[in-house]
Amino acid sequence: MAIELMELPYEQNALEPIISKETIEYHYGKHHKNYVDTANRLLKDSNFDDDALLIDIIKNSDGALFNNAAQVFNHNFYWLSLNPEPIAIPPKLNKLINRDFGSMENFKNEFEDKALSLFGSGWVWLELDVKEKLIITQRGNADNPLIHLHTPLLTIDVWEHAYYIDYRNDRKKYFEELWRLIDWKFVASNIVDYYHDLTEPCMENSQLCDYIDMLQHLNEPTT
Ligand SMILES: [Fe+2]
């Protein structure tokens, strides 16, 4: 199965005025789509099976195929990290942020500092490292936490194409506005989706394992 261009979970004008419809038309409709099309073209001449998963392609490729496949994953993750409806941060995720950054304010400051000091194009990620610690990373170009065996929780696109139409060269303003769109429920859900695959078994007395149990319990049908 070819790599597909994901459907956006909201209308193209839903993130206005923070991200305009025009930005989405270019960013999603042209840049993101181009990564999908290029990755599919490169896949035809590769050794990957037709049904290879995007994550497996990223973990087992390099050069142009890695760059384009990882950019598809990173953009999928970015769109899902945003939500036009305000989503409150789950209390236990808030607790983990306080544990590893001291406060939400410190976390946001470090995230913005890393975004502003990232030279050139790339991504800023909130990740879980292999010691269950939350960390913020600057990753250049198409780099991705999965190939470092880290768990991706949240990403913000720092390529200029993400903000130039709406904010010109003001990357700081783009970041300040973007906090209002973060889907904290998605961020928390990624602990469940990726964590076990990468770092099983849970560490002894793991707060995160308790948290995962709580999230999984929340997702169970109630009837
Ligand atoms: Fe982008």
Assess contact for 189 and 216: CB atoms under 8 A: no
Regarding whether 188 and 115 lie in a shared domain, the answer is yes
Quickly state the pLDDT bin for 115 (edges 50, 70, 90): very high
Q: 207 CA to middle of ligand 1, Å?
A: 34
193 against 160, higher pLDDT: 160
Give the total residue count for the chain: 223
Per the listing, tokens 């400051």 go with 109
d(C-alpha 129, C-alpha 121), whole Å: 23
Assess contact for 175 and 154: CB atoms under 8 A: no
- Whether 8 maps to a domain, the answer reads no
- What the block records as the tokens of 125 is 């990620």
- Rg over alpha carbons for the chain, rounded to the nearest Å, is 18
Helix (H) or strand (E) holding 146: none
Which residues span the domain enclosing 43?
A: 21-81
Regarding whether 151 and 43 lie in a shared domain, the answer is no
- For residue range 118-161, list pLDDT tens digits in order: 999 999 999 998 888 999 999 999 999 999 989 899 999 999 99
d(C-alpha 188, C-alpha 157), whole Å: 19
The answer to whether residue 165 scores a pLDDT higher than 50 is yes
Regarding whether 122 and 77 lie in a shared domain, the answer is no
Regarding whether 204 and 123 lie in a shared domain, the answer is yes
- What the block records as the tokens of 55 is 């994550």
Regarding whether 98 and 65 lie in a shared domain, the answer is no
Q: 28 CA to middle of ligand 1, Å?
A: 8
- Write the DSSP assignment of 131-190 as a string of letters: TS-EEEEEEETT--GGGGTPEEEEEEE-SGGGTHHHHTT-HHHHHHHHGGGBBHHHHHHH
Q: 76 CA to middle of ligand 1, Å?
A: 10
Regarding whether 158 and 98 lie in a shared domain, the answer is yes
pLDDT at 178: 96
- Whether 200 maps to a domain, the answer reads yes
Q: What's the domain count of the chain?
A: 2
- Whether 10 maps to a domain, the answer reads no
Query: What SS3 state is found at 208?
Result: helix
Regarding whether 132 and 192 lie in a shared domain, the answer is yes
Q: 19 CA to middle of ligand 1, Å?
A: 13
DSSP 206: -
- Whether 210 maps to a domain, the answer reads yes
The answer to whether residue 223 scores a pLDDT higher than 50 is no
- Whether 60 maps to a domain, the answer reads yes
Q: 195 CA to middle of ligand 1, Å?
A: 25
pLDDT at 192: 76
Regarding whether 57 and 127 lie in a shared domain, the answer is no
- For residue range 43-75, list pLDDT tens digits in order: 999 999 988 999 999 999 999 999 999 999 999
- For residue range 194-210, list pLDDT tens digits in order: 765 555 556 666 777 77
pLDDT at 86: 87
Q: 178 CA to middle of ligand 1, Å?
A: 14
Q: pLDDT over 70 for what percent of the chain?
A: 91
Q: 201 CA to middle of ligand 1, Å?
A: 34
- Whether 61 maps to a domain, the answer reads yes
Q: 157 CA to middle of ligand 1, Å?
A: 6
Q: 210 CA to middle of ligand 1, Å?
A: 34
Regarding whether 169 and 68 lie in a shared domain, the answer is no
| pTM for the model | 0.90
Q: 168 CA to middle of ligand 1, Å?
A: 15
pLDDT at 215: 72
- Whether 12 maps to a domain, the answer reads no
- Whether 4 maps to a domain, the answer reads no
- What the block records as the tokens of 127 is 């990740």
Q: 199 CA to middle of ligand 1, Å?
A: 29
Q: 222 CA to middle of ligand 1, Å?
A: 39
Quickly state the pLDDT bin for 19 (edges 50, 70, 90): very high
pLDDT at 210: 75
* CATH classification of the domain holding 164: 3.55.40.20
Q: 205 CA to middle of ligand 1, Å?
A: 39
Regarding whether 105 and 210 lie in a shared domain, the answer is yes
pLDDT at 195: 65
Regarding whether 119 and 174 lie in a shared domain, the answer is yes
Q: 200 CA to middle of ligand 1, Å?
A: 31
Residue 217 half-sphere exposure toward CB, CA atoms < 13 A: 6
